[in-house]
Structure 1
Amino acid sequence: MSVLHRTRKSQKTSADPADTAAADPALETIPAPEASTEPVAAPAHSGDAVPRTRAGATWVGVCAAALTLVVLIVFMLQNTRRVEVNFLWMNGSVPLALALLIAGVGVGIVAMVIGTARVTQLRRIIHSRQRRH
């Protein structure tokens, strides 16, 4: 098995790699490395890799939240135009960014309620199955 290295000068292709190398001396055929039959030695210290921790995951979450807040602040500063909002019996004028933020938080709360209901349902199913067995 061989690997061909194509140069910018040569753009033609051939079915036989040996013919291509003979026709264009700029292309070289490099033999593939042979597989070693010796076992691979284990690293000297298995603790060389830094383990993932909850504190590290929390730090990544805090950084992501901070970045999200910066983007949200920029969004709110750029969308200060007031809009008319009507909801049920309430109506008023609020900045566009605030109206969208309130709508987003409302959707998040609805999603959390539905998710909590589903998790509670699954936990009840698991507990009832564990009691039977």
Structure 2
Amino acid sequence: MSTQEPHIASASGTPFRKPKREKVPHSSTPQTGADIEHTNAGRMWIAVAMGAIVVIVLLIFILQNTKQVAISFFTWDFTMPLGVALLFAAIGGVLVMASVGGARIWQLRRAYKKTEPAPESKTSTDD
């Protein structure tokens, strides 16, 4: 491993390495689906479409589960539709997962910054 490529070990001890991508040469011949390089914009549209599908499925779930249920949380007692209560529980789970994931990302970034080589100071050798 060269000194110019700092790496961070995963929890299992193996280093994270960015895979090298092959560049597809552009030519006048028609390209097949396997030859076209995917872009971030294309991935974003797929993510938006998948998000819209998830929202539609959640909306259908909430509209079908309108039975009122009694909820007790610490000292609060209230009723709300079952679908809405389960949605709030899922959002709470996502927030816990995101906070744990964010803490891990922060930890990895700090470790990466510590492994970066120090910038070389410029000294004058014209004496």
Q: Same fold (TM over 0.5)?
A: yes
Corresponding residue for residue 69 of structure 1: 55
Corresponding residue for residue 109 of structure 2: 123
1:107 aligns with 2:93: yes
1:98 aligns with 2:84: yes
CA-based RMSD: 2.3
SS of the residue corresponding to residue 119 of structure 1 reads helix
Q: What is the aligned residue count?
A: 91
Query: Where in structure 2 are there 5+ consecutive unaligned residues?
Result: 1-26, 120-127
Give runs of aligned pairs for residues 1-133 of structure 1, distance below 5 A.
45=28, 48=31, 49-131=35-117
Q: 1:60 to 1:132 in 2, by over 3 A?
A: same
Shift of 1:129: 2.1
Identity rate, percent? 33
Over residues 49-68 of structure 1, what are the superposed CA-to-partner deviations in whole Å (9 max), with x where a residue is unaligned?
33211111111111111111
Q: 1:47 to 1:118 in 2, by over 3 A?
A: farther
TM-score, normalised to structure 1, is: 0.61
Return the alpha-carbon distance in structure 2 between the equivalents of residues 105 and 117 of structure 1. Answer: 18
SS of the residue corresponding to residue 51 of structure 1 reads coil
Write 1 or 2 for the structure with the bigger share of helix: 1
Counterpart code for 2:116: Q
Write 1 or 2 for the structure with the bigger share of strand: 1
